[in-house]
Structure 1
Amino acid sequence: MTTKNTIVERVADFLKRYPPFQFLAEESLLKIAGQVSVLYYEKNKSIFKEREKNHGMFYVVKDGAVRLYRTQDSEPKIVDICDEGDLFGLRPLITKEDYELSASANEESILYGIPIDLFLPIALEHRDVSNFLIASFASNVSDPYSLEESGKLFTEYSVERNSEIFDLQKARYSKNILTCTSDTTIKIAALKMEHRGVGSIVVTQDDRPLGIITNRDLRDKIATGKFPISDEVTSIMSAPVRCFQKDLSVAQAQLIMLKNDINHLCITEDGTPDSKLLGLLSEHDLVVSFANNPVVLLKEVKLAKRTKRLREVRLKVAQLLKKYLDQNLPLSQILNILNEINYAIAVRAIELALTKMETPPPCKFAWLALGSQGRKEQLLYTDQDNAIVFENVVEEDYERTQAYFINLARLVTRAMHKIGYAYCPADMMASNPRWCQSLSEWQKQFSVWILEPSPESQLLSAIFFDYSYVYGDTQLVTNLSDSILQKLDRNTNFYRVIAKDAIRSPSPLGFFRQFLVEESGDHKDFFDIKARGLMPLIDAARVLSLQHKLRNINNTAGRFERLAEVEDNNKEIYESCSYAFKALLKFRTRQGILHDDSGRFIELSTLSKAEKLKLKRCFKSIHDIQELLTLRYQLK
């Protein structure tokens, strides 16, 4: 009878819950688990330092959390916080080099050390594992807390770069290739291309590629008169052709084309021109592969002529969101990418609505996004919150001017509704005359909210103080912001009023560290992650940002990160709040996709122990920031 090693099995059971170990067979997992080093670190204990010789292993967080940081100007700058199941210290595995970052226990932690010599051969045998590790290492982490879940597939890069250059899916190529022999005339080759409706033809000999002719060759070499069309194709073909084997990835194909300034790749049996031609991969094929690429989607938005087309793009955005969550792209980047597209959709909806108006706008105006869209935190389908501010006009023209913009807003909000953004139940939309006003009227409105705070103004402050510019005249928005900041100096008690709002929902955990759930209603016994988790952080970030007069930072996580810079003594609290907010928002988004709803109410019984622990860890930040607000604004 074989005796089982329970410790090894427990390690294997833990590892298989997380990538890339989840891709491994049980035999490989047990082999790794049998060689794992179980390491204990007290809080703040160093694991490794920058430029320290590698330990011959990389690490997985079993319990606790680890902070990664680099030293800048003699000060530690946090790069990442690794949580349960996260990998770190991958540099020795991928490049066999020493560590570039420092790592230390953020709290009491248990780590698994995975021997590199044991793991590397196994990783190379499994494509999913090696792809995961390569893409992880290709990440370029630069901002504090930019990774909610480190050791995952992607990190910080801009929307412009986000053409998924590290996408490791296989490139799809055409097997139905148009070919001709070397003695074919250019005219015959061009006629074949026209008949087939393609932009290239491969010149072959014995099924091997000799060269390629494209539309560009015909334009540059024939249309200019450099060569007569009676010449043979060999006189203008590009040779030798670039070739590759059939299993190349989209990333590889894109890099080869960029490096060699070409638009086509020949796929051959052995990846050289000396073997049989199997297919042709064009730049167009890559674009098709990137159907849900943000750059492609942005182009689709700009070219859209109808609302229906924008709705199709919005549906693709939902697919993109799910894909990015599955790939564990950091939430900060998901927000950046998706909000660029969401804003582009809103802009295009406004542009299309303007074409339907009988006359151009009577004066300058600006369209504002409010609430979650204004904070650029809108991921799941939510309702619309928007407003219009227009240029001051003489009194006799005010009613007519306002009517024009209300009609415009109705067209826009109707289009947005068709695209997939529900009407606001409270009618906080630009089509409501109350939220479609001149600059001076808006200034008066904010003045009342600030100087004469009331229960209604507290409610509206949570929406209207998070506005951001979408379309129109930017100076109007700047003038409005200037006016608000000036008014805040005249009533500092306003901070205390809205700070009370930020602590109205207590810590999400009860006395015995149990989740506080809804006690009645349709969601009895469910946990409200929006009201108890996200809103306390959103409200706290808002009041503190207003106090410090932070401009052009509406995103909650971004506000906390900026606050960490201006209040060094509270840096740790603010950074932890930024991390907690992004983790909670990602969790809510995952739940919303899983259950096809808003993700707001969570059935706790469906969560794993690890998920509950992660949530509880985030709630400590809520308690800390509420304590800070209570002391600062003397709320008790």
Structure 2
Amino acid sequence: MKNSIAERIADFLKNHPPFCSLSLVDLIAISKESQVLHLEKKEVLFNINDQPHSFFYIVKDGAVALSVIYDTEKVLIDECDEGDIVGLRPFFAKDAYLMTAEASEESLLYAIPIAVFKPYIFENSEVSSFLLESFASNTRNPYDKENKGKLISESVSYNEREDTIQYFKPISYSANPITANKMDSVKSIAETMTRRKIGSVIIQENQLPIGIITDKDLRSKIATGLFTIESSAEQIMSVPVVTVKANGSVAETQLMMLQHNIGHLCVTSDGSSESEIIGIISEHDVVVAQANNPGVLVKQTKRAEGAHELKVVRENLTKLIKNALDENIPIAHLCQIVGEINKAITSRAIELSIMKMGEEPPVPFAWLNIGSQGRKEQLLLTDQDNALVFEDVVEERYDAIKKYFLQLANNVTNILNVVGYEFCPADMMASNPLWCKSLKEWNAQYDTWIHSPGEKGVLMCSIFFDYDFVYGKKELVEAITSAIFKNVSNNQIFFAYLGSDALKSPPPLGFFRQFLVERDGEHKDTFDVKSRGLMPLIDAARLLSLNQEITGVNNTLVRFKELAVLEPQNTAIYEACSEAFSVLLKFRTQEGFANDSGGRYLDLNKLTKLDKVKLKNAFHPISDVQEILRTRFQLTYFT
């Protein structure tokens, strides 16, 4: 009896790549194992962080929207329609989906089992090439010249301008691998593997690979008694050796390992077994290649059992940032990723500290990152700034409860210091009794800063008005926010003080458009990109956001984005400010990595002519936004 459903599926698949590369017989075989899936409008196929399905999907009718969460907002990345593939992540990674797939209209999908389709990838070079080209060109269909889309978008890390294909990056390999001769004893090879702490030895003849012995061979052939420990390598080695070129990608490596069901690949000069051995790639190398994937870092953070494990995560995060800068990933996206991972590290540090305390917190509390951490702009490993708020309690319990939270905060800041976030020189940390307060005390503190600003109050506002909830009871932070906006509403004196402070750093160019550099001291003749470039924009964005009562947004780039929407007459200026901030923050971050510093001071002599032009162009919006401040807050007599 004919299977009419399978025939209909096959008839559809044959018109779309990569299925069009398969025979009708193969398509029928695949279609018999496939399922028809109906989705109502807004019905979710899979969510971010869901574990990969055993199926991937091709859209028959309708459309499926792919989205990510960007700064708490759902952002549409791509929309897959007829013939487009969704959910191929299981082919290339075993971790969770990085995007949400949701039907944007009533849709019909064909669900194709991964296990059924996988053999065709390895048996059909055109199918394999399609998948690899898709990842290489970042398209869901590299053969569609008019509408390539953003292939398999859930398999990549999203950013605003271009997706990064995590799995198409070149993979590193171990050079100068340990080799042995075919007549060497298994015993001597096992001893070498133990001594060198390696999982494989390549068997060579005239520097050409003829076989490989791995831990698996020792377990399956020696430990089971099939061969004795005195056997020769030739008797138990696995043959042939699977060889690859040195410039293979993570995706290609994974495909090869899947295809041959092996955990090691031999790297040779030309990729064949007829050329000299130059290296080896193991499954561990594949894991390491993916170690700076944001999703992997968050997983590692949640599983960390101590400060040193968290330090490894932060070191991998630094690698991620460096790679992202090299690939011109937009700073806005990078800030968001780094900010979230920094929060995850801090959250885990708090959890570990609570466990160390041996007792649960006596009352609800909330931990806040403040300053650059609160704005999610800490791309370099600078010092930590944080605060703690706990629920109001009766006077008799206050001292004991504050003592608990100070000890907790001390544990947390010590862990963060080991991770690499140095102690704040000004002691702006939750372990300081000044910044570990009850809700009532915090509201009184903010009230004082707002109604009696003064010079010190303005300084505190520039730090403590940029806070981000990290851990605990969010309602406590929301209560502080509510009180702040109630106090600043129509508070002209407060805005005048903050505005005056925001104008202290004019655009950093003198006559003839020359850079204003440091005149003396340790950093003489360098340019202070933080105080002269970044801070005027940070201060302006904060002040204008407070004035517009924009809540829940602390990042400077996002603040300007919100302001551009609320004030159409100033959209061009705010967008220019956002772009300028991105440029300046990138300069600072690159300087920091290049000189293992805070990146604050730029040696202008080391900049190219083009870099100097970029810097100067980034200063124009400072003049424009400061003029808005002068006009709006009537600052003529304050500046």
- Contact between 2:371 and 2:466, CA under 8 Å: does it hold in 1? yes
- Contact between 2:173 and 2:279, CA under 8 Å: does it hold in 1? no
1:496 shift after superposition: 2.6
Matches within 5 A, 1:625-636: 625-636=625-636
Matches within 5 A, 1:571-610: 571-610=571-610
Once residues 293 and 282 of structure 1 are traced to their aligned partners in structure 2, the CA distance between those partners, rounded to angstroms, is: 18
Most deviating of 303-312 and 424-433: 303-312
Structure 1 residues 595 and 620: alpha-carbon distance in aligned structure 2, compared to 1, 3 A threshold: same
Letter in 1 for 2:372: S
Once residues 171 and 422 of structure 1 are traced to their aligned partners in structure 2, the CA distance between those partners, rounded to angstroms, is: 34
Matches within 5 A, 1:48-447: 138=138, 156-157=158-159, 164-169=166-171, 247-254=247-254, 283-447=283-447
Once residues 255 and 431 of structure 2 are traced to their aligned partners in structure 1, the CA distance between those partners, rounded to angstroms, is: 48
1:302 shift after superposition: 2.6
Aligned counterpart, 1:489:
489
Aligned counterpart, 1:233:
none
Structure 1 residues 562 and 198: alpha-carbon distance in aligned structure 2, compared to 1, 3 A threshold: same
- Contact between 2:135 and 2:165, CA under 8 Å: does it hold in 1? no
Number of aligned positions between the proteins:
480
What is the alpha-carbon root mean square deviation over aligned residues?
4.9
- Contact between 2:263 and 2:282, CA under 8 Å: does it hold in 1? yes
1:153-182 CA deviation, whole Å, 9 max, x = no partner?
x99449xx978223134566998899xxxx
Aligned counterpart, 1:43:
none
Q: Secondary structure at the match of 2:167?
A: coil
1:369 shift after superposition: 0.3
1:560 aligns with 2:560: yes
1:31-87 CA deviation, whole Å, 9 max, x = no partner?
xxxxxxxxxxxxxxxxxxxxxxxxxxxxxxxxxxxxxxxxxxxxxxxx9xxxxxxxx
1:88-145 CA deviation, whole Å, 9 max, x = no partner?
xxxxxxxxxxxxxxxxxxxxxxxxxxxxxxxxxxxxxxxxxxxxx99996499xxxxx
Aligned counterpart, 2:457:
457
Aligned counterpart, 2:474:
474
1:428-464 CA deviation, whole Å, 9 max, x = no partner?
1111112111112211211222233222111000000
Give unmatched runs, 5+ long, in structure 1. 1-78, 80-132, 141-153, 179-195, 219-228, 231-239
Letter in 2 for 1:583: V
- Contact between 2:157 and 2:165, CA under 8 Å: does it hold in 1? no
Once residues 256 and 371 of structure 1 are traced to their aligned partners in structure 2, the CA distance between those partners, rounded to angstroms, is: 47
1:538 shift after superposition: 0.2
1:242 shift after superposition: 10
Normalization by structure 2: what TM-score? 0.62
1:510 aligns with 2:510: yes
Structure 1 residues 197 and 323: alpha-carbon distance in aligned structure 2, compared to 1, 3 A threshold: closer
Q: Secondary structure at the match of 1:512?
A: helix
Aligned counterpart, 2:143:
none
Q: Secondary structure at the match of 2:166?
A: coil
Once residues 136 and 506 of structure 2 are traced to their aligned partners in structure 1, the CA distance between those partners, rounded to angstroms, is: 38
Once residues 420 and 430 of structure 1 are traced to their aligned partners in structure 2, the CA distance between those partners, rounded to angstroms, is: 17
1:519 aligns with 2:519: yes
Aligned counterpart, 1:64:
none
Q: Secondary structure at the match of 2:520?
A: coil
1:257 shift after superposition: 7.1
- Contact between 2:158 and 2:164, CA under 8 Å: does it hold in 1? no
Q: Secondary structure at the match of 1:437?
A: strand
- Contact between 2:294 and 2:341, CA under 8 Å: does it hold in 1? yes
1:573-616 CA deviation, whole Å, 9 max, x = no partner?
11111111011011011112222221212232232222211110
Letter in 2 for 1:445: Q
Letter in 2 for 1:567: E
Most deviating of 400-409 and 310-319: 310-319
Once residues 258 and 474 of structure 2 are traced to their aligned partners in structure 1, the CA distance between those partners, rounded to angstroms, is: 37
Identical aligned residues as a percent: 47
Give unmatched runs, 5+ long, in structure 2. 1-76, 78-132, 141-155, 181-195, 203-207, 220-224, 227-239
Once residues 139 and 613 of structure 2 are traced to their aligned partners in structure 1, the CA distance between those partners, rounded to angstroms, is: 27
Q: Secondary structure at the match of 1:518?
A: coil
Structure 1 residues 396 and 605: alpha-carbon distance in aligned structure 2, compared to 1, 3 A threshold: same
